[in-house]
Chains A and B, each alone.
Chain A
């Protein structure tokens, strides 16, 4: 069975600094999607960024970027210039056809 592992239950970052959240996954597939979702206290799941495994270029969305290492099965999220509004739970997700798995999450705290 495929698994998604987020090894950091909690992370903390100073406002305006950079933080990296880790995610590793297990799969025998070559074509799949990876996502980072943000869940603030409202519980709404908000898409942060997505990566298609067949694309070698790392995805970026404004202050958010990923480091996708396909051979190592690693998919980390970098948040630059952290803002107070970035404080939330962050979930890494793997999707391939009928296999959809989420990691246990990383709680990010942003200190003013």
Chain B
């Protein structure tokens, strides 16, 4: 049981390049999330998904896209990288309670992205 895995661990992009950050979970969680953490700051929600085929915007979605074709995978796409997207990106997953509220989030190890 690997939990939440993310690839790559670190990447350098040039301005205008595109890339996909991969995230996979093996806990059969219905909820999945993408956060970014800027230096010295807390996490901010980019996108989330409540199940396969369903995604929605979080607090800071501009410049990103997501898809959720399976329960396990939730990739994050950066189309035109900008220096403002330099950050550490965390993927997380959780199950929902019987009342429908997402419960404890389990995090991946993070992807450090540097846009130059």
Interface residues of A, Cβ cutoff 8 Å to B:
4, 31-33, 35, 37, 42-45, 47, 50, 91, 93, 95-98, 100-105
Contacts and interface: CB of A to CB of B under 8 A. Distances in A.
B109 A44 contact: yes
Given A31-B99, A35-B104, A50-B104, A91 B110 contact: no
A100 B42 CA distance: 12
Contacts, number: 62
Interface in B69-113: 88, 90, 92, 99-107, 109-110
B88 A33 contact: no
Interface residues of B, number: 27
Interface in B39-60: 40-45, 48, 50, 56, 58-59
A95 B101 contact: yes
The 10 closest A-B pairs by CB, nearest first: A45-B107, A102-B42, A102-B43, A104-B42, A43-B110, A100-B45, A105-B42, A103-B42, A91-B42, A44-B109
Given A43-B109, A44-B110, A45-B90, A31 B101 contact: yes
A50 B105 CA distance: 10
A91 B41 CA distance: 10
Given A4-B42, A31-B101, A105-B40, 8 more contacts: A31-B99, A35-B105, A43-B110, A45-B92, A50-B103, A91-B42, A101-B45, A103-B42
Interface of B: 33, 35, 40-45, 48, 50, 56, 58-59, 88, 90, 92, 99-107, 109-110
- Residue from B33, B100, B105 whose CB has the most chain A CB atoms within 10 Å: B105
Contacts of A32: 101
B101 A33 contact: yes
A100 B48 contact: yes
- Residue from A31, A50, A98 whose CB has the most chain B CB atoms within 10 Å: A98
Nearest to A35: B104
B88 A43 contact: yes
Contacts of B41: 104-105
- Residue from A4, A43, A103 whose CB has the most chain B CB atoms within 10 Å: A43
